[in-house]
A and B are shown apart, each in its own frame.
Chain A
Amino acid sequence: MIYSKPNRNERTKINRALDRWGTFEFFKDKVLVLQKDDTKKKIVVCLVNEKIEELLLMAGMISPYSLGLAIGELRKEFIPSIAGADLFARYGKRNKFYIVVSEKGEKLVLYGRDIMGESIVEASDALAENELVILLNTSHEAIAIGRTRFSGNSLLQKGRVTVTTLADAGYYLREEG
């Protein structure tokens, strides 16, 4: 693994994403480091504290397997991880990109299932199709990352999957399992 501070372009891309999720203020004074695999194709954004950042210099002889908390992946767009979504939901200003699902919907999401319209209890009518969203439970805790299949009020239509689940907190259990 190769670790580096984001360059200006990368930082701009990350900042835009943080702004999108309403968490720019929270991350303003936080340290972010990029983890790249040997091919440099996969770029993971890691939240670290200042001391951990110093470790990069001190532990020069061995490359860390992980550094801090992976909050997302930098592809064409920034895709939050579940851990990142959790921070966004807790410290960000909730906006149209957050969808709240019912208790029954939460259980299904945590098994990796997609979201049916009737499971959505709160969604902005300003949402477009194919938008990346964070799915919250009724306690407003991040339980999954999803992508909308419809726009606006069509997200609430019954009997159809209206949001595709991309990643969910249940994977901790399934993967560990």
Chain B
Amino acid sequence: MNGKIIILLILTIIFSKSPQSATLSAKYGYDEWLVSRFLKYVPDVDSFLSKMEIAPTQYIRANTLKTHVANLVKRLQLKGFELKTTVIPEVFAVTKAPFAAGATTEYLLGHYYIQDLSSCIAVEALDIAPGQVVLDVAAAPGGKTTFIAQRMNNSGIVIALEPNARRARSILFNLARCGVYNTSVFKTDAVRTGLFEMKFDRVLLDAPCSCEGVIAKDPTRKTSHTPEDVDYCCRIQEEMIESAVKVVKPGGILVYSTCSFAPEENEMVIDRLVQNYHNITVEPMNYGSSGLVRFGDMVFGDPLNNTRRFYPHLHDTTGFFIAKLKVN
């Protein structure tokens, strides 16, 4: 069956309220429908909601196109910054900042990029090698694009897509700041990938989403977020991933990510894709918690175990979902 037809039948699943959802929504100021859902797919919801009350840990990624990791660390330490290593060698948690990390000369000169660890792990999952041809869909503001270019050492080709003019401009700023010259930006959207008449070794689809994972950065979403947001986003995501998968070379990798916890935007999108395309396998990843294999009355295929969820209270990142898909 066609994926588009299926998605029109899927609506955000709402669960009945409970004494626990009432207590937690009152304690942390969320709409109760959202807490009722979190209780179904987030481990230890009280700790999770408590963690969402504080500003997320800030991470920086050293830009090795412009500096050496050790040099950057030394320079920032001399300015009073304290940094902690992470699972990604170029990425550091900022544990102490005497002033804003975005206001240093090193930042302006492109020696580093302020970027969440989870976002860097999505790029890591691409297993990029120099010389490859890579497509970055919905690329603004260019954090992942510049990291991809960095891992390719400015070789090969990165095509970055962004339909919105203002957001496309933000990519240009970051490409220029980071000294990237293997990238071309196109003002177009994911569903027009076929126009390129080319196939890609790697495709990154960091899909527009309902942003449940970044409520800590924007607390207004505790009450402004609606089930319709999730409905709307998963329709777009379905279209985007359908287009993206068609331009991956045989043997290539597609990484799908969102900053949402909603299974409708994550596991359900991947489950349908894997059901529709038998040449796609969900590859294991080293970091994060396993994706859901059931949600409400739904049971997903075992491969969904290989998708990854990142929770603020467990992984000290913003909320994130990553699926690494190999197209055989």
Say yes or no: is B155 at the interface (Cβ < 8 Å to chain A): yes
Segment from B14-22, B166-174, B223-231, B317-325 that makes contact with A:
B166-174
Say yes or no: is A51 at the interface (Cβ < 8 Å to chain B): yes
Known: A52-B184, A68-B183. A58 touches B198 (CB 8 A): yes
**B184–A51 contact, CB under 8 A?**
no
In the assembled complex, the Cα of A143 lies from the Cα of B173 at a distance in Å of 15
**A66–B108 contact, CB under 8 A?**
no
**What chain B residues lie within 8 Å of A126 (beta carbons)?**
none
Segment from A4-12, A78-86, A113-121, A152-160 that makes contact with B:
A78-86
In the assembled complex, the Cα of A95 lies from the Cα of B197 at a distance in Å of 46
**What chain A residues lie within 8 Å of B192 (beta carbons)?**
62
In the assembled complex, the Cα of A62 lies from the Cα of B184 at a distance in Å of 12
**A55–B157 contact, CB under 8 A?**
yes
**A67–B184 contact, CB under 8 A?**
yes
Say yes or no: is A23 at the interface (Cβ < 8 Å to chain B): no
Contact of A47 among B102, B107, B177, B181 (CB under 8 A): B181
**B105–A65 contact, CB under 8 A?**
no
**B185–A64 contact, CB under 8 A?**
yes
**A110–B108 contact, CB under 8 A?**
yes
**What chain B residues lie within 8 Å of A137 (beta carbons)?**
105
Contact of A169 among B108, B157, B171 (CB under 8 A): B108
Chain A binding site: helix, strand, loop or mixed by DSSP? mixed
**What chain A residues lie within 8 Å of B102 (beta carbons)?**
173
Say yes or no: is B175 at the interface (Cβ < 8 Å to chain A): yes
In the assembled complex, the Cα of A81 lies from the Cα of B179 at a distance in Å of 11
Tally of A interface residues using CB under 8 Å:
36
**B182–A68 contact, CB under 8 A?**
yes
Say yes or no: is B176 at the interface (Cβ < 8 Å to chain A): yes
| Closest CB in chain B relative to A33 CB, distance in Å | 10
Q: Which residue of B lies closest to A176 (CB)?
A: B173
**What chain A residues lie within 8 Å of B107 (beta carbons)?**
173
**A176–B170 contact, CB under 8 A?**
yes
Q: Which residue of B lies closest to A49 (CB)?
A: B182
**What chain B residues lie within 8 Å of A62 (beta carbons)?**
186, 188, 192, 195-196
Known: A52-B184, A64-B185, A68-B183. A172 touches B177 (CB 8 A): yes
| Closest CB in chain A relative to B312 CB, distance in Å | 25
In the assembled complex, the Cα of A116 lies from the Cα of B232 at a distance in Å of 55
In the assembled complex, the Cα of A171 lies from the Cα of B170 at a distance in Å of 12
**What chain B residues lie within 8 Å of A106 (beta carbons)?**
105
Say yes or no: is B154 at the interface (Cβ < 8 Å to chain A): yes
| Closest CB in chain A relative to B156 CB, distance in Å | 6
Known: A51-B182, A64-B186, A106-B105. A172 touches B173 (CB 8 A): yes
Say yes or no: is A170 at the interface (Cβ < 8 Å to chain B): yes
In the assembled complex, the Cα of A76 lies from the Cα of B133 at a distance in Å of 37
In the assembled complex, the Cα of A47 lies from the Cα of B192 at a distance in Å of 27
In the assembled complex, the Cα of A176 lies from the Cα of B110 at a distance in Å of 14
Say yes or no: is A48 at the interface (Cβ < 8 Å to chain B): yes
Query: Hey, what's the 0/1 contact readout for B82-118 against A, CB within 8 Å counting as 1?
Result: 0000000000000000000011010111100000000
Enumerate B142-195 residues with CB–CB distance to A below 8 Å.
Answer: 154-157, 159, 168, 170-173, 175-177, 179-188, 192, 195
Interchain residue pairs with CB less than 8 A apart (28): A47-B181, A49-B155, A49-B182, A51-B156, A51-B182, A52-B157, A52-B182, A52-B183, A55-B159, A55-B184, A58-B196, A59-B159, A59-B198, A61-B195, A61-B196, A62-B195, A62-B196, A64-B184, A66-B183, A68-B181, A68-B184, A86-B110, A106-B105, A110-B108, A137-B105, A141-B105, A172-B176, A173-B107
Interface residues of chain B, those whose CB is within 8 Å of chain A, are: 66, 102-103, 105, 107-110, 131, 133, 141, 154-157, 159, 168, 170-173, 175-177, 179-188, 192, 195-198
Known: A59-B197, A176-B173. 6 other contacts (CB 8 A): A52-B157, A59-B184, A62-B195, A82-B176, A170-B108, A173-B107
